[in-house]
Structure 1
Amino acid sequence: MSVFIHLQTVNDIVNFFQLDTLIQHPLIAVVDFSQVNESINAETKISSDFYALIFKTYNRNNIKYGRKVIDFQDGSLICMAPNQVLEMDNEIDVSENMMGWGLFFHPDLIRATSLNDKMKGYSFFSYEISESLHLSEKEKQILYDCILKLRAELQENIDLHSQDILVSNIELLLNYCSRFYGRQFITRKHSNNLIVAQVEKILSNYFKRNDINENGLPTVKSVAEQVNLSPGYLSDLLKKETGKNAQDHIHFYLIEEAKNSLLNSNKSVGEIAYSLGFDYPQYFNKLFKQKTGKTPVEFRSMN
């Protein structure tokens, strides 16, 4: 029988990992996994109110994130937003098998800071585990140095500067993660190009078959599922490879189909909008002008 555990406070983190000591702060925790004292039972599902960055190595593959098994053997980093779920597939004897660190910080720590507005830009928090960040030795050390700085600051007495220093170091860590993900996209360029080709084929076939009449506009989520990626990772991959995110690719095929209908049929603009899955023609008009610089009527009259 599976057990679900939700971590709401730093004390919950201490208790869950059975830590002898943890430098206390109400909104942030840095965990040294080599100091964890107790095995984690099989079939345990874990979520939290915290953003979490977890770097761990194991001798076995025994954690699931979503539907994917995590392979931490080579050392990889996962980033979780609040309320995402990790699932333990087999019992972990952490005293022998687990090394690494975890950073947990509550949204309230950054809520009144500029970092709060930047969090949506760190799209890797929405990636699937199969899209985790695989680090070089140099990259591991850079991130660990950030963790050491956070740990050192947590050892200081809380004062007027504590939050600024903690948040700036978290932001530095996240910016390094963005850089390293950028490197990972580059090193996987061949496989990325295959995915770009897959996406183009999926969208091309979708509009050729007129699936839009039955199923409506394709979504980023539906396309991502067909290439076995998360929507966030797919959009970032396409942006890196083509300069356009997943939604832009969908809109490209949509506008091409709209152009064909405008020039090769006598349908009204409203009829074309409905046939393309728009509930309201004004939304179609707005998107068409945004992408082409002309309204549908202007485009039809000029051609």
Structure 2
Amino acid sequence: MKGIYHIKSISELHGMLGCDPPKHPSVSLIRFSDMKFPVGEAEFSGATVDFYVISMKDSSGQMKYGKGYYDFEEGTMLFAAPNQIMFHSHLSDEILDTDGWSLFIHPDILYGTALAEKMNDYTFFSYETDEALHLSKQERTKINTCVDNIKEEYGQNIDRHSNDLIVSNLDLLLSYCKRFYDRQFITRHKQSKGVVLKLEKLLLDYFKSEHALEKGLPTVKYCAEQLHFSPNYLSDLLKKETGKNTKEHIDYYLLEKAKQMLMATELNVNQIAYELGFENPKSFSKLFKKKTGATPTEFRQN
């Protein structure tokens, strides 16, 4: 077989990695040292999986996640949602020589639970590899305790309480990760402040130029790409630093430009909407009223 594998089940994953059969159909913890890659580089370029992946690296080294290689520091965590490319043949020797683990969670175990409703709130599952979570020794201990509890629970004889206890410990694990990411945003305040200033300049320049007329409204994805972040990471960073996510920052500078044009030019509302990048003037008027409490015409008159 060649190219990218698509792995649908935990059992299939264990087979590909050369591990013993899993003890639970929907959750498994595998240490890097236990992973084996039986296929050669020419035959194997990666694999996607139908489950969530949480990885902890306990020593320095490299691993492939998503778009590129990532240099792990001690106590570094990465997260991936289903259907991301998770393995690469070049890394087989590197993984075997490093210390760490990956926790695989199939969505089946979450169905009907409160955690299933919360998974979209954990935006770090779509962060890029260079936006990893770096942990202190104490934080790493908390994470490993949660993971050990999950492993212990699925390693026993499964009964009617097993899934509830596994999901409860997973919920606690993800709650800690969210807290530690918030801490990371705070401790990197100087870096975050620089990002805020770069975004402000990016948006000011965008609306001063012909970009809006030529390209339409700036999107969250556009801003993230220009600042070299993933969309969710940028929004979370800005929210922690300023209280507003990327979309709210875009709307703020858009409305400031709209107000300026309404007061200082004789362009009609439709012309202003098109110059700001709106395809439909009604969308402009609706957003303007929602944010200011007045229609563009009422704002100009008053």
Structure-1-length-normalised TM-score: 0.91
- Residue 56 of structure 1, CA deviation: 2.4
Deviations 1:19-47 (A, max 9, x none): 1364x222111223333355785563121
Secondary structure in 1 aligned to 2:218?
coil
Find the counterpart in structure 2 of residue 195 from structure 1: 195
Find the counterpart in structure 1 of residue 292 from structure 2: 292
- Tell whether the 8 Å contact from 2:46 to 2:89 is kept in structure 1 after alignment: no
- Residue 144 of structure 1, CA deviation: 0.6
Find the counterpart in structure 2 of residue 35 from structure 1: 34
Find the counterpart in structure 2 of residue 81 from structure 1: 81
Q: Please give the alpha-carbon distance, in whole angstroms, between the structure 1 residues aligned to 2:76 and 2:299.
A: 50
Ranges in structure 1 where 5+ consecutive residues have no aligned partner: none
Question: Are positions 1:227 and 2:204 aligned together?
Answer: no
Question: Are positions 1:168 and 2:168 aligned together?
Answer: yes
Find the counterpart in structure 2 of residue 8 from structure 1: 8
- Tell whether the 8 Å contact from 2:53 to 2:102 is kept in structure 1 after alignment: yes
Find the counterpart in structure 1 of residue 142 from structure 2: 142
Find the counterpart in structure 1 of residue 259 from structure 2: 259
Deviations 1:200-232 (A, max 9, x none): 111111111131000100111111111111011
Deviates more, 1:144-153 or 1:42-51: 42-51
Q: Please give the alpha-carbon distance, in whole angstroms, between the structure 2 residues aligned to 1:38 and 1:51.
A: 20
Secondary structure in 1 aligned to 2:160?
coil
- Residue 83 of structure 1, CA deviation: 0.4
1:95-174 aligned at under 5 Å gives the runs: 96-174=96-174
Q: Please give the alpha-carbon distance, in whole angstroms, between the structure 1 residues aligned to 2:94 and 2:225.
A: 33
Moved over 6 A (4+): none
- Tell whether the 8 Å contact from 2:15 to 2:21 is kept in structure 1 after alignment: no
- Residue 87 of structure 1, CA deviation: 4.9
Q: How many residues align?
A: 300
Counterpart residue type for residue 188 of structure 2: R
Deviates more, 1:67-76 or 1:210-219: 67-76
Q: Please give the alpha-carbon distance, in whole angstroms, between the structure 1 residues aligned to 2:244 and 2:39.
A: 42
- Tell whether the 8 Å contact from 1:289 to 1:296 is kept in structure 2 after alignment: yes
- Residue 133 of structure 1, CA deviation: 0.6
- Tell whether the 8 Å contact from 1:40 to 1:93 is kept in structure 2 after alignment: no
- Tell whether the 8 Å contact from 1:30 to 1:102 is kept in structure 2 after alignment: yes
Deviations 1:227-271 (A, max 9, x none): 111011000011111111001111111101111121122333223
Q: Please give the alpha-carbon distance, in whole angstroms, between the structure 2 residues aligned to 1:12 and 1:146.
A: 25
Counterpart residue type for residue 152 of structure 1: E
Secondary structure in 1 aligned to 2:90?
coil
Structure 1 residues 101 and 60: alpha-carbon distance in aligned structure 2, compared to 1, 3 A threshold: closer
- Tell whether the 8 Å contact from 2:217 to 2:276 is kept in structure 1 after alignment: yes
Structure 1 residues 89 and 214: alpha-carbon distance in aligned structure 2, compared to 1, 3 A threshold: farther
Counterpart residue type for residue 52 of structure 2: Y
Q: Please give the alpha-carbon distance, in whole angstroms, between the structure 1 residues aligned to 2:71 and 2:183.
A: 20
Counterpart residue type for residue 18 of structure 1: G
- Tell whether the 8 Å contact from 2:73 to 2:134 is kept in structure 1 after alignment: no
Find the counterpart in structure 1 of residue 70 from structure 2: 70
Counterpart residue type for residue 131 of structure 1: E
Structure 1 residues 96 and 216: alpha-carbon distance in aligned structure 2, compared to 1, 3 A threshold: closer
Structure 1 residues 295 and 193: alpha-carbon distance in aligned structure 2, compared to 1, 3 A threshold: same
Q: Please give the alpha-carbon distance, in whole angstroms, between the structure 2 residues aligned to 1:7 and 1:151.
A: 21
Structure 1 residues 55 and 8: alpha-carbon distance in aligned structure 2, compared to 1, 3 A threshold: same
Identity %: 44
- Tell whether the 8 Å contact from 1:37 to 1:95 is kept in structure 2 after alignment: no
Deviations 1:137-189 (A, max 9, x none): 11111111001111111023333322221211111111100001011111111
- Tell whether the 8 Å contact from 2:60 to 2:71 is kept in structure 1 after alignment: no
Structure-2-length-normalised TM-score: 0.92
- Tell whether the 8 Å contact from 1:34 to 1:94 is kept in structure 2 after alignment: no
Deviations 1:104-137 (A, max 9, x none): 1112221221111111110101100000111111
Q: Please give the alpha-carbon distance, in whole angstroms, between the structure 2 residues aligned to 1:110 and 1:102.
A: 18
Question: RMSD between aligned alpha carbons?
Answer: 2.1
Q: Please give the alpha-carbon distance, in whole angstroms, between the structure 2 residues aligned to 1:28 and 1:9.
A: 10
Secondary structure in 1 aligned to 2:72?
coil
Q: Please give the alpha-carbon distance, in whole angstroms, between the structure 2 residues aligned to 1:87 and 1:32.
A: 14
